Structure 1
């Protein structure tokens, strides 16, 4: 496992912990999307956010 994938898993775990501690009914639905994207990126190695920024011209 690469360091980048481990970083994705760590950030997803921290977000999930924050969602749990805040309460599932009080957090905005967008946090679930971000957490899901990070878990997907950690599992597959394909980061949708990184691909989007590369298509926008960032390096």
Structure 2
């Protein structure tokens, strides 16, 4: 496993821990999108956010 994939999993775990400590019913549904994208990126190696920024024009 690469360091980049491990970083995706770590950030997703921290976000989900924060959601859990706040309360699963109190947070907005959109806050679940970020950990889902990061877990997907960690498993597949394809980061949707990075792809979006590259299409916009960032390097």
The TM-score normalised by the length of structure 1 is: 0.97
- What is the 5 A alignment of 1:1-59? 1-59=1-59
Cα displacement string for residues 9-53 of structure 1 (whole angstroms, at most 9, x for unaligned residues): 000000000010000111111110111000000000000000000
RMSD: 0.5
Q: Give the Å deviation of 1:58.
A: 0.1
TM-score (norm 2): 0.97
How many residues are treated as equivalent by the alignment? Answer: 59
Unaligned runs of 5+ in 1: none
4+ residue segments displaced more than 2 Å: none
CA distance in 2, matches of 1:3, 1:30: 27
